[in-house]
Structure 1
Amino acid sequence: MTPAVRALEAAGIDFHLTEYAHDPRAEAFGEEAAKALGLASQTVFKTLLAKLDDGRLVVALVPVSARLDLKALARAAGARKATLAEPAFAERTTGYVVGGISPLGQKKRLQTFLDDSAMALSTLHVSGGRRGLEIGLAPDDLVALTGARPVTLART
């Protein structure tokens, strides 16, 4: 059981877990999950950490079919600039490995931004806290548990 699953259970949130055999050669972890589970790529969200020019770290969730608009993230966070955090730094900060970083149950709670396309979905999927494990839940429940702010973050 991962910290993400424990956080959902502790909050009493309705969710479902799906597992797949992770290919260690895979580089696009979210796209691998979508394909392996037969999910539409716009319903599977990748969790990215970004560093703002004022030194803060934030979490951004965007569909795996899109790229994160760093300028939009910076604006939403009230900063001038945002850059993706180095993978090793993201792992140390969240307690998860890259490809398995969940927005839930992170070691340190960070301000979180969710691409607003998620709010039109009945269910979205995020990493369950390890490669090969996905959590399906309602967008409103993700927002409630993480304090995420829905904003436009995705670029295609």
Structure 2
Amino acid sequence: MASTQGLKLLEAQGIAVTLHPYDYDPGAEAVGMQAAAALGIDPALMLKTLMVEVDGKPACCVIPADRHLSMKRVASAFGGKAAAMMPPAKAEKLTGYRVGGISPFGQKRLVPTALEEVSCGASKVWINAGQRGLLLGIAPEDALRVLSARALPLIA
């Protein structure tokens, strides 16, 4: 199994994770939901990584696969006035990952990151490991610490 930049970062930080490969379906309407179904994971604990722009500046949001971002909450979370989804090609260039495999861990450029606060009460969540078809299981407090992220309300 390939080692991604995200996995290398977590290993260097001494963060324990579990790896969960699954058959990635490039035609899936919702990749996070497909991954949750493939692994039998509660979609509320299967987190998707979304790259956004707040007042034109990049940021990263990590939310449950079965939920949608509130752009108003995203703008507020990052101290801005307006938020929008980052175009896929720009997200790939910024993170060094391909859409469908974007991880908040080990991105090429460090950007402000927030995790949906409702997810942070779980003992473990699943997040993309930086490769299509590979998730990692991690304690939310470890994810917050290694990402220097905040737990904030981000969903609609």
> Does TM, scored on the shorter chain, surpass 0.5?
yes
TM-score using structure 1 length:
0.96
Match for residue 7 of structure 2? 5
State how many pairs are aligned.
154
Report the Cα distance in structure 1 between the residues aligned to 2:97 and 2:29, rounded to whole angstroms. 16
Write the mapping of 1:36-115 to structure 2, written as runs, cut at 5 A: 36-53=38-55, 55-115=56-116
Report the Cα distance in structure 2 between the residues aligned to 1:24 and 1:104, rounded to whole angstroms. 22
* 1:113-147 Cα distance to aligned partner (Å, 9 max, x none): 11001211000110010110001000000000001
TM-score using structure 2 length:
0.96
C-alpha contact (below 8 Å) 1:29/1:131 kept by paired residues: no
Report the Cα distance in structure 1 between the residues aligned to 2:29 and 2:106, rounded to whole angstroms. 24
Runs of 4+ residues deviating >3 angstroms: none
Quote how far apart the aligned CAs of 1:56 are.
Answer: 1.2
C-alpha contact (below 8 Å) 2:52/2:60 kept by paired residues: yes
Match for residue 27 of structure 1? 29
Letter of the 1:30 counterpart: G
Q: CA RMSD in A?
A: 0.8
Structure 2 residue ranges without an equivalent (≥5): none
